[in-house]
Structure formats: C-alpha cells, structure tokens
Structure 1
Amino acid sequence: MYSLGIKLSLLNKIKKPNKNATFVFGLQKSGTSAITGLLAAYTGKSATIDTKYLWEPYRTQLLEDELTIKQLVNRFSYPFSKEIIKEPSATFFIDKVSEFFSLDKFIFIVRNPFDNIRSILNRLSLPGDDDHIDPSRIHPNWRYIFKSEGQANYIDTLIANWLAANDQPGWTSHPGCLLIRYEDFNADKEGVIGHISHQLGFGRMNDISDIVDKQFQPKGSSPDSLVEFFGQKNFEKIASKCEKVGHELGYQRLA
C-alpha cells in the first residue's frame, strides 16, 4: 500500500496538465468550493477543489517570476490534470494562469464584501470590530494575507484583498468569463448550477438535489447586525471603499 505522499508523487509523474481545464476563480469564502463541488457532481466531471501548489511559497515564486506556471504545473501535474480546477489563490494571478491554460471559458465567483469578509473572519475565528489582530492567531495557510499587517488595520487589509480579487474588469468582463454572484447561487443552487453547466456546454449527468446544501467548507455564522459585528468604524470603511467595485459587480446595495 502506497503512502499518500508516494501516491501523489506517482500521479504527478503519470498525469498531464489539462490546458483546457475550466478554472473557477474567486476570493476565499466566496462560494467557490460549493459551486465547484456541485458543478462537478452535476456534470460528472473531475475537479480539483484547492491545491497547495498555488499556495506559498509557489504563489510568491509565480508573482516574482522565479517560477513559470508551465514549470509548476508540469512538476505537480496531478491537481492540474482535472477538468475543473478551483483555487482561490489563482484569482490574484489570472494572467499567469493564462500563460499556460486556455481560459477560453472560465467561472468567476463574487460575493458581497460584507459577507465575504465576515465569512473569512469566521473561518479564522477572528472578530470584526477590532483595530489590530495578532498574526500568530491566524492559521499558517492564511497568514500571508496579513503579512503587511503591521500598521494597517486588519479590516483595511481584508478590504484591499477583496478589491484586488474583484476589481479586475479585464477578467470579470472578459468574453469568456461566466460571472456568478454567490447570492444568486445561494437563492437557487440547482438553477444556477444548471445555468453554469449549460453556458459551458457541459450538460447534466447527475441529479444533485440531495447534495445542494452540502457544506464543502466550514459554515460561518450570520450575525443579526453587520454594524454590530464590524463596529461602526469598520463597517463604514467597508461600505465606502468597496462601494464602487460592488456596484460594478451588480450590488446596488452592499448592506
């Protein structure tokens, strides 16, 4: 019996990266896992839901041109051999991804910044109404997001992250982009998954009615009041800084 590490090493040698894979982009906790998982189940297609090979240190190596996407996916080919690939980190370097993968059609998930940022904080067991947080409290896989968190309010850091992910009109308005709002998906999961599949020409292989409410990631809590969760100061920061991009993405009201 092979260990998991040996098995993955063998698969990386056997499998070839799929240049025509359908990518799912979107900030962490924007619904990318649920949409990818349900789409894969609906269409019967293989999927990668997160891959450590686009986390640190590979993320920085790609961004600083110390490593090309071609080198990376040929070295760690197994997760990139699937028909659908989802990894939120890739949202910040779609141009790098496009140097190897076709991206003729891809999915881009967006979510209201208040709920997106709140969900990230829930995932990390962090409050929303402080000025600063201790980086040592943050899980190592998420710590890179806050690496500049020395003098900046951590909510400012998360706002900047939301904007960096979602303020990409060259990609969100790209002819091949299927832009999906998480709120629309949440209101009609089967309908939106069917729409995505139709738009991508995938068709339907399986009934997903029994798994539409499956939790693909830990579920966050929904506060009675966003103002209470974030505090007035942090709430107003999110509202003012995200308003323009939010409107461009179809959010007439952010909260």
Structure 2
Amino acid sequence: MQGTWLRVSHPLRQAVSGAIRYCRHRTAAVFPSPVIFGGSPKSGTTAIAALLAEATGLSISNDPFWRVLRSDGDGYLLPDVLEGNLPLDAFVRKYPAYFSARIVKDPDFVFLYRELQQVFPESPQVFIVRDPRQNIRSILDRLHMRGDLEHLGPAENRRLAREGGWRAVLDGRGLGLDGRANYIGRLAQRWVRGVDAYFAAGTPVHLVRYEDFLEDRGALIADLAELLGLELRTDVDARLARRPTHHGHRSLSTEAFFGERNLALIEHTCGAHMAKFGYA
C-alpha cells in the first residue's frame, strides 16, 4: 500500500508544483529594471549575486533558463533566443515570475547583453569573469569528470544525459562553436564567446573578476553596491566572519588535472583574452 502511494504521489507532486508555477507566472509582474548578472557557469555568478542580494536586502531570482529547463518543461531555450526563434521579450513575458526580483542572475545572460538592454533599458548589467583554467575545472568538478581525456566516453555521456542543461553547455549549443574540438576545446571556446560578448556589448557592463571577490569578498560587495547605486543594509564583513570558509581540496595541480595537451588547448584558445584580465 505504501509503495503504491509513493508511486502515485510523485506525479501528483509534479502536477501540484506545475500548477503553482503556472499561477505564479500568471500573477507575477516583471520588475522593470533589475540588476542583471551574467558570466560563464561556475565563474562565481551565484555567490556574488547572492551576497549582493543579502547585503542590500533585495530579492534575487536565479537562472531563468535553467529553471525553465528543469521545471517548466520547455527544454533549453537559450539556442532559440540566440538564433532569433524566440525573442527575449517573449521569453520574459512567458515566465515573468523568474524576472520579478530586483536582482536576476543567469550565466547565459552573458550572450544576451544587447537583447537585455532592449528589454530592460534601465537595468545595470554585471559580467563575472574567472580564469578559464579554473572556470573549466570547476565545471568538470561539478560533473565529476576528468580534464585530461581526449574525448568523453560512454560513462561521461551517460552522466551528462542525467544532468539536463550541462549537455548543452559542453556542446555549446547555439553558439556556433567548432564541432571538431573536444569537450575542453568547446568549453574554452564558450569562455571566449562570453568575453567577446562582454567587449561587444555596446553598453556599459560592470566587470567583476572572481579572483578579486575571493581576495576580499566584503570589500568587493561594498564597492559593487556603490557602483550600482544600491544601499548596503547589512554589515557584510560581520556576516562573513560568522560563516565557515571552505577553500575546497584539490590534490591535483592544474597541469596534472588537464594534462599537457588539454591545458595547452585552453591557454591557446583563451590566451589573448586571459592577458586582458591579468591571467598569466
């Protein structure tokens, strides 16, 4: 009897969650001028945007594209927006609950600065950049994948099949990447595309290096709030002092993690832009 209830309850929970999301989208109002964060996945967009929201007391909405993929059943819509099949303003109107907060963060926004400027002309935008070697390594750590493979094998592809949008990230869907490159090469190209989009934005986009955030999180958030014209409502340093610091543990050097070939591929692909941000 209990097993039957569990089998029935899962689709029931899904139906209830879907109904709640439907009602939220029908009743939500898009905030006209949110602070918009973009950057590569695992570049620090979540940490920085969340801490800014906490420090200023503002509401935050995370990852509209990812939430649509995981919750609303419409698949991964970034390629449709990039290719012009789905105008960004139509995307926003369809999912207003994901754009009702004062701060809206999605790594994929890095490819949509101009479109976002048209939909939210009064919105300040922020670009988070991170050393591509550590950025790509963090993505692979998240997926429990090695960085020294020549190509992804059956085990890695099965893992990606379970991970939803990460398959699209590694493939670079909608970005016109070189399909002959291996998974490291495509991730490096994706990093370059994001940086290219930042430089080509045509509108002021505030730059934050993730490494500067790690060096002094409180100072960076205070400076960013002032730059964006936001009022600090909490003592960031006091909050951070009460939190444990997790530096993680990496037993492998960058060279050992990627291997000589893949590390050289990242540095060759990203090298020109790395120098602009001080990544030796």
**TM-score normalized by structure 2?**
0.80
Q: How far apart are residue 175 of structure 1 and its match? A: 5.5
The runs of at least 4 consecutive aligned structure 1 residues that moved more than 6 Å come to: 212-215
- 1:129 and 2:148 matched: yes
Q: Which digits, 9 at most, give the CA deviation of each residue in 1:20-47, with x for residues without a partner? A: 1110011000000000110000000111
- 1:160 and 2:179 matched: no
Instruction: Name the amino acid aligned to 1:159.
Output: A
Partner of residue 165, structure 2: 141
Partner of residue 136, structure 2: 117
- Give 1:70's match in structure 2, choosing from 89, 92, 96: 89
Instruction: Name the amino acid aligned to 2:170.
Output: F
Q: How far apart are residue 5 of structure 1 and its match? A: 2.5
What secondary structure does 2:119 align onto?
coil
Report the structure, 1 or 2, having the larger helix content: 2
Q: How far apart are residue 99 of structure 1 and its match? A: 2.5
Give distance in 1, aligned partners of 2:42 and 2:247.
9
In structure 1, the gaps of 5 or more residues are none
Q: Which digits, 9 at most, give the CA deviation of each residue in 1:133-190, with x for residues without a partner? A: 033321222101233797431111111111111223123xx55321000000001001
Larger Rg computed on CA atoms: 2
In structure 2, the gaps of 5 or more residues are 1-14, 70-74, 173-177
Partner of residue 28, structure 2: 15
Provide the alpha-carbon RMSD of the alignment: 2.6
Q: Would the aligned equivalents of 2:40 and 2:194 in 1 still touch at CA under 8 Å? A: yes
Instruction: Name the amino acid aligned to 1:45.
Output: L
- 1:37 and 2:50 matched: yes
- 1:190 and 2:218 matched: yes
Instruction: Name the amino acid aligned to 1:63.
Output: L
Partner of residue 60, structure 1: 79
Q: How far apart are residue 219 of structure 1 and its match? A: 8.2
What secondary structure does 1:4 align onto?
helix
**TM-score normalized by structure 1?**
0.88
Q: Would the aligned equivalents of 2:33 and 2:121 in 1 still touch at CA under 8 Å? A: yes
> Structure 2 vs 1, CA of residues 136 and 70 (structure 1 numbering), >3 Å: closer, same or farther?
same
